[in-house]
Structure formats: structure tokens, C-alpha cells
């Protein structure tokens, strides 16, 4: 145990001992019966739903009341907030809260128009834990890289429609009774429960459509709710269902793998020594991505109350999204010619980058490569819970819960064509820094008739599975006199498994003769017009049907039983199994104009990691992908995590809070288990490190809150996180099996490593009604993060750290009409490595608005607009080197909501 932990733990223990003595002195008289109370998430859910809230104004007041009354640092979004905000998943809803960051992707799939990940205070999403009703939720992703080689611990919010949400709590300071795993905080999504409804029968339905302007598509959005509870309020059943489809089209310029450096032994470096060490683009792409996201599922919840002291519950949730997608990327192939061929005289080198270059055509050289990748893909999440709330005595309550949850992301089939083009045609490019796309051209024939080579690595299955079984027992002992108001204590056990599988695929045969005369389509008119730049846009592609037909008809399906000639990709497989036991005790205090809690949480983790390594000496298994040795690792960790929260009422409308804690998050699953993989195009790759240690953070938080009027708040806070064993990425040379040469080759491989980090920052929040019907809100978060790790670009940046995040909004509401507008922006941040190079997302802001009209007591109409400013999402390697530019267009949601 480190020194800081010992000091903080000792302070907590001393406080608990002192509190026990103080309580003993002040409880000479017998306590009065305590009110019946559930614990943890169930109690929170009950508290949040006992007040009837109507409209934007009421929901804001309820959120502020919950925040004000909490002993810990909590941000809250209530049910009406979710319904009124221009948001169609929970992450979009949370982005307006101070200290909350969102991102639209989890790996290298690039920027989209829908929020998918949530993080707190400028850190990685993996350090923010997401729970539903206080328990874990199995999650997975639709994107193939997120299913195997880049798998974090965050939850995909794309699977969580906002219609299911009663409220959301963002816990910024830790408490011993909270489930461990969120180093920087915990998001708890609370659903509705049957016995909480006011009426015996409640029925609601929403019928609508979404218009995606760039995809030029209008698609249905359906949801419904039915709840019944008996007259006695002892039995209730709730059923919710949703089915939501959306077409999306993303138009982009991509630079896959970033820029490479021309070497001294390269022909271009030998003939032109001034080019040695200069960066040049390996690939420059004109990229069209289209996808259909079809999400359906629902929630069934049953509650039974056999007597006043016992409530039983059974819940089942499922969300299943089909996400078939087609990505086309026509690319200038600098990696194929810029090393071996010097540019024509007149080229320009600025800041170590070959910014302007023209290459005369050389016979036999291909200057373009074209990838067309159609994937069948899906992602799904589900959980089943059985819970019991039992008031054991007047002063002792308990809650028991057992549950199971699973998530699965799968790409069962990939249909891939990679063709070479523009032979002998030459090429050119002209860069303009990270803020603008690269202008580039290739000569020669780029039509289907100009194809000079064909390849495919397609039809390989990739599946991710995420499963957990758990049991919790929580108790609360209440005292009705003295400073010690209650003691919470309990235990939790969970068995969690995350694995990546790639057991079979199709070995391609003579596909090209069948495909070359297949049906083709053209890039849309005006493609990438919002991005700018001068690069090829009038491009053809094989249709998905043509790809499927040619590949299926000319491939041989090989399973995992075919040995060395099979397509079992052992190098894409790994498994991480974790058994987690935790126990806690938390003392809750209340005094004259102050309150708080102190607690300790003991965590014990037993971790088994199974993975594969490429090896040519006595391999355990082999396939067409190479020869592999199985490796097994076991890690054991135990730690006591202290926490303390204090709240002081300085005046009737002025609060001061202070919190201190230690929190822990285990490394990402793929960071622990992933086998080494490599890309033959750029000789770069990635891999795991089973020896990584958990991230331990020592946290301090202080906040001053002035509730200067009803629905009015001005707050100022400061926070600090000292991250020990934060996970960064280094680059090392590894010998990996090459699918092109069928032998070991040297790759520059990105490998996760432990490195310390720190984050310090400030938060400012402001909310104020203006008159009876108007109101404004704004918040700003400053986050200064750094790491002890030095990246390849010489920086010490912390992954996910945006220095500046702000939100501004305004609303109007009367009895029949409501309107709301909001703008959120976050500054640039480090994502990870692209190949061997760190890359960043640039400053990014979105504008959203919503209109609501209550036509009758049973019908309301809403129109929501997302991404109204049509932002371009930009990524870059450095100020001089861009990585990608994405345009997704705007979305408009029209909904008719019925209440019966």
C-alpha cells in the first residue's frame, strides 16, 4: 500500500472511531423508529420519482434540489430533462452537464453524428463507470476493431435509448457504497419502476421519424410504455418497447496510419538527402461510409409487495442493433511510391513535412489503392435482475440483488475488395496544415477498367462477448439521535468475462473474374462539399450485392477445425476473466448545518488472461494466419479504497462541499489481452500487455454552490486527480507474421504501458430563470492533464484530456409551448495512436434545438434538431499533419407523443 493511501485510510479510520464514540455519548435515549428506506440505487430512484414534474422548469428545479440535498458531488438529469432535451440517447443528454465530455467513437472508426461514449473531467471514457440501477451492464460495439483489438471498459450509449430513462446521476465524488471501477466517477442510469407510477394504468406511445439530411433518408422511430399496478399498490408490471431505425452517411477525407518518414536507405532518401526524415503521406483517402442502424428492444419490470416490509422485483432489458455498413476509401498510395521515387523538382518541405510534391508517372507503378469493405455487423446488450428490499426492523433495512448481464458485438461476415489503380499515372499532393484537407490527385485510369491488381482478406468472423454474473447485499442501520445518522455496509461479488473470438472465415478463391463486371454505383453528387479541399470525388464502387455475390460464390468456408489450412485467427483472440469481491462500511453523519459520510471499501480482484503470441518454435496452434503459442497470466490485486464527503451550509442559500477519495479502475480488456497484430500496408500494429497494473487515483474535490433563487444556481469548484499507473501507449519493434509474405516481419507495434498522470481543474456552472417563462444556463470546465509518458511527438498529453469544455443554453416554456437551444464545445484532445503516431481530435462543437407543443392533454408534438451547425469533425497528427475530416450532416426528429 502506498504512502498516500495509508495517510488517507488512517484519517478515515480515525474519523469512524471518533464518530462511534460521539454517537455512543449522544444516544442515551432509545431512538424512535426510523422511516422505512431502501438502499443505494433503489432508494435513489424512489427519491427522484416521488415529485411530479411538468416541463423544463419543473425538471430543472427537481434536478437542482436533488443536487443540493446530496452529501456527495452529484449532477442530475431528471426524466423531463431527458424528454425535453434535443437528445436521442443518454450520452447526448449528459453532455450539457459540467465536467462531462462525450465522444462519438470508441476506436478508429472516426467521428459520427451521435454520441457513444461518456467521460468525466477530461479523461478516458474507460475511467468513467456506467451503471443501470446501480449495477453493471454488459456492452459491446458494432465496429470490428472495437470488437477485437481496441476494447475498453466503457459502455456503448448507442444501445441505450433515452426513452427508457427516469433519471441519470453523475457521481463526481466517490462513496464507499458505490460500486468500484470508476476512477473519475460513475454514471448511474435509473429506469422507471412499476409501483412508482401515480395511476393504476399508464400508457404512452411515441410515433415519429428522423430525417438525416446527408443520407437523404427518413426513417421511423417508435416507442411505447404500458404500466399497471393494482389498487392496493402491491403488484405492478411495466412493459416498454422501442424500434428505431436510422440511415447515416459520412463523407470524409482520411489519412489511414498517418504520415511516415522517408528513410536514409529509401531510394528517395538516397537520391535526395534533404528528404531523409521528412514526413510524407502513406495513404490519402476519399472516403464514403454508409450505414443502417436498426435498434429494437425493451424493458419488462415486475414488482410485488407481499407486505409493508418486503418488495420483490424482476427486471429484464434488451437492446439489439443491426449495424450493417459499407466503407469505400479511394486512396493515393504514397507508401507504394514515395519511398522509391523522388518527387519532381520544385517540391516543398516545411517543418519536416513534404507539403507540396508532384510525381511523374513511372511505368509499372501503382499510384492508387481502393478499399471497398461491406460488413454485416451488430451489437446487443441485455440484463436480468432479481431484487428484494426488506425492512428487517424499524431501524435496519436491506437490499439484495442477483443478476446477469451480457453484451455481444459481432461482424460475422466481411466482404472486402482491394484493388490497385492508376498504374503509371503519377500523383501529387499539397497540404495546408491540420485545419484543412490535403489537395491531391492521381493520374491514369481510375475506372474499373483501370484496375491492375485485386486482393481480399474478407469474410473473417470477429465476435466480442461481455458477460457478468453478480450478487449484492446492502444494509443500512439508522439512528435517530446523535451525529451518526446511519451506517451503510454490504458486500458484492461479480464474475466477469470479456473475450474476442475469430474462429472461422472464408478462404478466397478466384473472385476477380466474377467481380470485375459486377454492378457499380457512384459517389453521391456534391460528395464532401462541406469539408472543402480538392481531391477525387467522382468515384465508382462495386455495390454491396456485387461484392457479396462474387465473394460468396468463390470462397471456401473454413472453420476452426481445419488446422494449419484453416482460417481460425488465433492472433485476433483473447480472453480476460475477473472475479471481483468487495465489502464496504460507510458512516453517515448529520450535524448543525453540516452533513457528510466517511467510508472504506475493500476490493479483491482475481484476474486470468488468455492470449496468443506469434512464434515459429513449437507452436501450440497454427492456421493460415500464422503459428501461435498460447499464453496464460494470472494477476491478483487487493486494496482498501477510502472516501469522505463533507457538506457545510454556510448560509441558507450557500453550500460548501469537500471530498477526498481513492478510486481504482482495471486496465482496458484489450490492453491486457490483445495479441499482437500488424497492418501490412504501413508495417505498424498493436498488441496487449498482460502485466499492466490497475489505475489508482487519489482525488480531491471542493465546490461552492449559491442557490440564489428558485431554479437558480451559481457554483465554483476545483478538483484534482493523481493517477498512479495510468495506461499510456509506447511503440516497440516486434516480429509478426505477415499475411502478404507468410513469414515474420518487423512491425512498429503500439503497446500499452503503465505511466503516472494527473489532472487538475476548475468547474463553473450557472443556471437562472428569467421571468416566468425564460431561462438560461451555462457551464465551463478547465482540465489540465498530463502524463509522465512521453509520446512519439514529444508531448506528455493525457489521453482524452480536453483543456476546455463549455455549454450554453436557453429555454422558453409556457403551458402549451416549449423551446430549447443548446451549444456544447470541447477543445482538442489526444485519442491514441494511429499506427506508431499519436493523433488528436480537434476542437469540436455542436448546436442542438428542440420545439415542443402540447396540443391536448393526451397529445404533444416535438421537433428536435441535432448537429444544426453541421460540424466537420477533424483529427490530426500534428499542427502540420492532418489525419481525417468527417462530415455527417444534420438530423431532425419529429415525434407525436400520446398519453392514454
Q: What are the angstrom distances between the C-alpha of 320 and each of 133, 157, 243?
A: 20, 12, 10
The kind and range of the H/E element at 60 are helix 55-69
Q: Is the pLDDT of residue 583 over 80?
A: yes
Burial (0-12, 13-18, 19+ Cβ within 10 Å), 436: middle
User: For 704-741, b where at least 16 C-beta lie within 10 A, e where not — what string?
Assistant: ebbbeeebbbebebebbbbbbbbbbbbbeebbbbbeee
Residue 4 has pLDDT above 70, yes or no: no
- In degrees and rounded to multiples of 5, residue 392 shows phi and psi of -65, -45
Across 30-44, 343-357, 518-532, 555-569, least confident range: 30-44
What radius of gyration do the chain's Cα atoms show? Answer: 28
pLDDT of residue 723: 95
Q: What is the mean pLDDT of residues 777-790?
A: 94
Alpha-carbon distances, residue 372 vs 162, 553, 697 (angstroms): 34, 18, 44
Whether residue 557 has pLDDT greater than 50:
yes
Helix (H) or strand (E) holding 672: helix 669-673
Query: Residue 680 — very low, low, confident or very high, per pLDDT cuts 50/70/90?
Result: low
Rounded CA gap, 780 and 96, in Å?
Answer: 10
Tell me the pairing of strands 872-878 and 165-171: unpaired
Angle at the Cα of 506 from the Cα atoms of 501 and 507, rounded to 5 degrees: 120
Residue ranges of alpha helices (H) inside 403-504 are: none
Q: Which residue has the higher pLDDT, 825 or 42?
A: 825
Alpha helices, DSSP H, located in 511-668: 512-515, 544-553
CA dihedral 383, 386, 392, 397 (to 10 degrees): 10
Instruction: Examine the pLDDT at 672 and tell me if it is beyond 90.
Output: yes
pLDDT tier for residue 897 given thresholds of 50, 70 and 90? very high
Asked if 753 and 729 touch (Cβ cutoff 8 Å), the reply is: yes
Q: Could you give the dihedral angle defined by the CA atoms of residues 738, 744, 746 and 750, in that order, rounded to the nearest 10 degrees?
A: 60
Between CA 24 and CA 884 the distance in angstroms is 65
Decide if 509 contacts 555 (C-beta within 8 A). Answer: yes
More confident residue, 741 or 706: 706
Provide the pLDDT confidence category of residue 87 given band limits of 50, 70 and 90: low
788 pLDDT more than 70: yes
Rounded alpha-carbon distances, angstroms, from residue 669 to 120, 356, 560, 582, 625: 20, 42, 24, 20, 23
Residue 618 Cα distances to 605, 612, 673, angstroms: 33, 13, 22
Residue 346 confidence (pLDDT) above 90? yes
311 is written with which cell numbers? 418488495
Is 49's pLDDT higher than 80?
A: no
Task: Extract the C-alpha cell encoding 882.
Answer: 492532418
> Residues 298-311: pLDDT tens digits?
999 999 999 999 99
DSSP 852: E
Q: How confident is the model at residue 80 (pLDDT cuts 50, 70, 90)?
A: low
Asked whether the beta carbons of 210 and 218 are under 8 A apart, the reply is yes
In the predicted model, is pLDDT for residue 489 greater than 60? Answer: yes
Between β-strands 484-501 and 462-478, what pairing exists: parallel, antiparallel or unpaired?
antiparallel
- Residue ranges and CATH numbers for the domains of the chain are 3-899 (2.40.170.20)
Is 254 or 507 the better-scoring residue by pLDDT? 254
Instruction: Give the separation between CA 179 and CA 656, rounded to whole angstroms.
Output: 25
How far apart, in whole angstroms, are the C-alpha atoms of residue 15 and residue 644?
10
**pLDDT computed for residue 17 by the predictor:** 43
Supply angle C-alpha 372, 378, 380, rounded to 5. 160
Interval 589-648: pLDDT, tens: 999 999 999 999 999 999 999 998 875 556 788 888 777 888 999 999 999 999 999 999
| Spatial separation of the C-alpha atoms in residues 789 and 798, rounded to whole Å | 9
Q: Which has the closest alpha carbon to 413: 465, 466, 464, 463?
A: 463
Look at residues 260, 279, 293, 281 and name the one whose alpha carbon lies nearest to residue 109.
293
CA atoms within 13 A on the CB side of 253: 28
pLDDT of residue 681: 60
Q: Which of 266, 276, 424, 273 is nearest to 335 (CA)?
A: 266
Please, what is the angle between helix 40-49 and helix 55-69, to 10°?
A: 140
Report the C-alpha gap between 811 and 777 in whole angstroms.
9
Cβ neighbours for 601, distance < 8 A, ≥ 6 positions apart: 176, 177, 180, 582, 583, 584, 640, 641, 642, 643
Tell me the three state secondary structure of residue 24.
helix
* pLDDT tens sequence across 427-442: 999 999 999 999 999 9
Residue 794 CB neighbour total at 10 angstroms: 8
Contacts of 268 (CB under 8 A, 6+ apart): 262, 275, 338, 339, 340, 341, 342, 343
CA angle 833, 834, 840 (to 5 degrees): 70
Mean pLDDT across 505-526: 92
Q: What is the DSSP letter of 731?
A: E
- Identify the three-state secondary structure at position 539: coil
pLDDT at 561: 59
Residue 650 and residue 702 in contact, taking contact as beta carbons nearer than 8 Å:
no
Q: What is the rounded CA–CA span in Å between residue 117 and residue 160?
A: 11
Answer yes or no: are the C-beta atoms of 59 and 78 closer than 8 Å: yes
Other residues' Cβ atoms within 10 Å of the Cβ of residue 756:
16
CB 99 within 8 A of CB 75: yes
Give the model's pLDDT for residue 53. Answer: 40
Neighbours of 650 (CB within 10 A): 13
**Residue 397, strand partner residues:** 391, 476
Amino acid at each position: 500500500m502506498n504512502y498516500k493511501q495509508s495517510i488517507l485510510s488512517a484519517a478515515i479510520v480515525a474519523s469512524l472511531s471518533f464518530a462511534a464514540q460521539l454517537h455512543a455519548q449522544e444516544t442515551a435515549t432509545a431512538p424512535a423508529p426510523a422511516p422505512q428506506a431502501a438502499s443505494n440505487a433503489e432508494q435513489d430512484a424512489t427519491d427522484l420519482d416521488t415529485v411530479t414534474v411538468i416541463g423544463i422548469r419543473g425538471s430543472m428545479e427537481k434536478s437542482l434540489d436533488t443536487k443540493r440535498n446530496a452529501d456527495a458531488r452529484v449532477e442530475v438529469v431528471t426524466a423531463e430533462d431527458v424528454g425535453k432535451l434535443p437528445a436521442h440517447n443518454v450520452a447526448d443528454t449528459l453532455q450539457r452537464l459540467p465536467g462531462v465530455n462525450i465522444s462519438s467513437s470508441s476506436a478508429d472508426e472516426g467521428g459520427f453524428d451521435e454520441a457513444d461514449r461518456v467521460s468525466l473531467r477530461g479523461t478516458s471514457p474507460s475511467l468513467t463507470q456506467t451503471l443501470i440501477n446501480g449495477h453493471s451492464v454488459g456492452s459491446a460495439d458494432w465496429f470490428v476493431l472495437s470488437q477485437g483489438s481496441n476494447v475498453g471498459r466503457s459502455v456503448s450509449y448507442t444501445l441505450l435509448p433515452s426513452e427508457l430513462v427516469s433519471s441519470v446521476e453523475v457521481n463526481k465524488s466517490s462513496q464507499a457504497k458505490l460500486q468500484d471501477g470508476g476512477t473519475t466517477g460513475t454514471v448511474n442510469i435509473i429506469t422507471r419502476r412499476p409501483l412508482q407510477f401515480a395511476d393504476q394504468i399508464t400508457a404512452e406511445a411515441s410515433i415519429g421519424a428522423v430525417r438525416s439530411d446527408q443520407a437523404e433518408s427518413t426513417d421511423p422511430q417508435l416507442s411505447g410504455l404500458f404500466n399497471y399496478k393494482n389498487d392496493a399498490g402491491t403488484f405492478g408490471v411495466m412493459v416498454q418497447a422501442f424500434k428505431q431505425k436510422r440511415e447515416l452517411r459520412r463523407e470524409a477525407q482520411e489519412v489511414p496510419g498517418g504520415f511516415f518518414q522517408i528513410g536514409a536507405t529509401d531510394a528517395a532518401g538516397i537520391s535526395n538527402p534533404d528528404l531523409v526524415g521528412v514526413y510524407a503521406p502513406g495513404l490519402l483517402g476519399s472516403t464514403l461510409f454508409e450505414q443502417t442502424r436498426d435498434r429494437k428492444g425493451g424493458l419488462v419490470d415486475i414488482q410485488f409487495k407481499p407486505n409493508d416490509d418486503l418488495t420483490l422485483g424482476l427486471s429484464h432489458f434488451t437492446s439489439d442493433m443491426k449495424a450493417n455498413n459499407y466503407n469505400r476509401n479511394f486512396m493515393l498510395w504514397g507508401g507504394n511510391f514515395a519511398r522509391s521515387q523522388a518527387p519532381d523538382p520544385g517540391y516543398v518541405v516545411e517543418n519536416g513535412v513534404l507539403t507540396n510534391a508532384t510525381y511523374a508517372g513511372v511505368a509499372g507503378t501503382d499510384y492508387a489503392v481502393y478499399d471497398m469493405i461491406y460488413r454485416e455487423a451488430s451489437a446487443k446488450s441485455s440484463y436480468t435482475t432479481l431484487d428484494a428490499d426488506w425492512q428487517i426492523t424499524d431501524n435496519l433495512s436491506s437490499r439484495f440483488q442477483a443478476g446477469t448481464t451480457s453484451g455481444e458485438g459481432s461482424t460475422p461476415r466481411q466482404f472486402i475488395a482491394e484493388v490497385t489503380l492508376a498504374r503509371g499515372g503519377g500523383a501529387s499532393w499539397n497540404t495546408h496544415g491540420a485545419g484543412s484537407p490535403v489537395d491531391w490527385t492521381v493520374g491514369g485510369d481510375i475506372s474499373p477498367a483501370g484496375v491492375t491488381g485485386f486482393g481480399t482478406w474478407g469474410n473473417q468472423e470477429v465476435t466480442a462477448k461481455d458477460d457478468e454474473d453478480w450478487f449484492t447485499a446492502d444494509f443500512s442501520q439508522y439512528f435517530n439521535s446523535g451525529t451518526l445518522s446511519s451506517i451503510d455496509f454490504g458486500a458484492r461479488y461479480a464474475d466477469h468475462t470479456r473475450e474476442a473470438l475469430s474462429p472461422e472465415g472464408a478462404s478466397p478463391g478466384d473472385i476477380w473474374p466474377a467481380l470485375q463486371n459486377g454492378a457499380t454505383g457512384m459517389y453521391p453528387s456534391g460528395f464532401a462539399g462541406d469539408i472543402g479541399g480538392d481531391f477525387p470525388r467522382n468515384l465508382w464502387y462495386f455495390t454491396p450485392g456485387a461484392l457479396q455475390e462474387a465473394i460468396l460464390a468463390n470462397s471456401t468456408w473454413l472453420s476452426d477445425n481445419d488446422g494449419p489450412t484453416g482460417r481460425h485467427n488465433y492472433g485476433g483472440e483473447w480472453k480476460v476473466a475477473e472475479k471481483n469481491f468487495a465489502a464496504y462500511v460507510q458512516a453517515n453523519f448529520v450535524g448543525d448545518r453540516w452533513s457528510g459520510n466517511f467510508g472504506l471499501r475493500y476490493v479483491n480482484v482475481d484476474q486470468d488472461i488468455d492470449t496468443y503470441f506469434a512464434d515459429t518454435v513449437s507452436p501450440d496452434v497454427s492456421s493460415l494466419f500464422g503459428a501461435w503459442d498460447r499464453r496464460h497470466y494470472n494477476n491478483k490485486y487487493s486494496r482498501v479504497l477510502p472516501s469522505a464527503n463533507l457538506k457545510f451550509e454556510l448560509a441558507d442559500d450557500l453550500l460548501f462541499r469537500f471530498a477526498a477519495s481513492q478510486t481504482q479502475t482495471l486496465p482496458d480488456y484489450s490492453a491486457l489481452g490483445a495479441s499482437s497484430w500488424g497492418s501490412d500496408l504501413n508495417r505498424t500494429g498493436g498488441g496487449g500487455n498482460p502485466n499492466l497494473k490497475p489505475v489508482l487515483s487519489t482525488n480531491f474535490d471542493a465546490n461552492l454552490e449559491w442557490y440564489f433563487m428558485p431554479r437558480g444556481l451559481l457554483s465554483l469548484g476545483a478538483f484534482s486527480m493523481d493517477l498512479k499507473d495510468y495506461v499510456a501507449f509506447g511503440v516497440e519493434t516486434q516480429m509478426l507474421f505477415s499475411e502478404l509474405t507468410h513469414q515474420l516481419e518487423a512491425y512498429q507495434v503500439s503497446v500499452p504501458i503503465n505511466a503516472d498522470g494527473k489532472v487538475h481543474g476548475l468547474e463553473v456552472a450557472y443556471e437562472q430563470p428569467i421571468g416566468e417563462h425564460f431561462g438560461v444556463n451555462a457551464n465551463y470546465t478547465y482540465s489540465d492533464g498530463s502524463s509522465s509518458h512521453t509520446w512519439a511527438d514529444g508531448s506528455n498529453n493525457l489521453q482524452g484530456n480536453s483543456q476546455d469544455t463549455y455549454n450554453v443554453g436557453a429555454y422558453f416554456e409556457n403551458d402549451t409551448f416549449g423551446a430549447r437551444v443548446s451549444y456544447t464545445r470541447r477543445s482538442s484532445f489526444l485519442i491514441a495512436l494511429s499506427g506508431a503516431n499519436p493523433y488528436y481530435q480537434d476542437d469540436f462543437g455542436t448546436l442542438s434545438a428542440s420545439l415542443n407543443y402540447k396540443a391536448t392533454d393526451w397529445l404533444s408534438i416535438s421537433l428536435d434538431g441535432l448537429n444544426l451547425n453541421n460540424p466537420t469533425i477533424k483529427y490530426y497528427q500534428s499542427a502540420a499533419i492532418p489525419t481525417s475530416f468527417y462530415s455527417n450532416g444534420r438530423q431532425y426528429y419529429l415525434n407525436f407523443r400520446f398519453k392514454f
